[in-house]
Structure 1
Amino acid sequence: MIQSDTRHNFSSTNMETSGEFNQLCNQLFECQCACWAWQGAYATQADRNMQLCTEIEQLRSLVDAQQMRIAHVTKENQRLNLLMGHLMPRDVGPYCNMNAGSNEGDGEIGETEKSEVVERLETIVELSDGSSNTSQSE
């Protein structure tokens, strides 16, 4: 009888140990699954961080390109304002009617002013050709 009680105790202990072992195995598996999930989440976050860094670099490049365009447009605007300043009527002088008819003096003044305007326009064309060549080489 003592032997049968011992076997029963041994087998009962063995079952308890086996149950605890299974429980520990299940807990270990759950921990391992949780670990894999965290690793996956970490990898996903790392991928997202790299993607964000790439997007930030692209945005910086776009900002740099836009700033260059703004600088170019500003420079071109200044050049056009300068040209427009040369073309303003105040630079040409008083209005002269070329059809004055009886007064030859007015006609001569008109021709003189006309040649001055032509000279200024030629100068403007030369300046604009030089400016456009400079801006193209940049």
Structure 2
Amino acid sequence: MRAFQLDPCLARDTIAISQLGLCDLRLMNDSRWPWLILVPQRLGITEFHELTPLDQTMLTFEMGLVAKTLQTTVGADKMNLGTLGNIVPMFHLHVVARRRGDPNWPGPVWGHGTPVPYDAGEAERFADEMRRAILPA
């Protein structure tokens, strides 16, 4: 059996935060928005409905946990959830915290402007903050 491997585009554009029960939790390397990505660790899945019912339930639980924690931590006005997958076929779920007045508010984050990567220290600080909040010891 093949081992799960992250899509090269997701590996390039995101920073690892932690492994949850089902998903690999990652930080989108674009500091304009607090933006996390959940990637179910399943081979060959491109759509939500291809997950088993148990995996669908687990993903829903992890999405809720991550969205609530992110919203509370950053003080978001609105949480955007999306599973576009038009460019990266591997199934993944975006969890984006939005604030009134952020870049392109109230429009979508996808395809807006040029990404602004985190500096290494800021990315690690934010990833650590998310890890501690989502997975308290």
Q: Which has the higher contact order (CA 8 A, sep 6+)?
A: 2
Give the alignment's TM-score, normalised by structure 1.
0.22
Give the alignment's TM-score, normalised by structure 2.
0.22
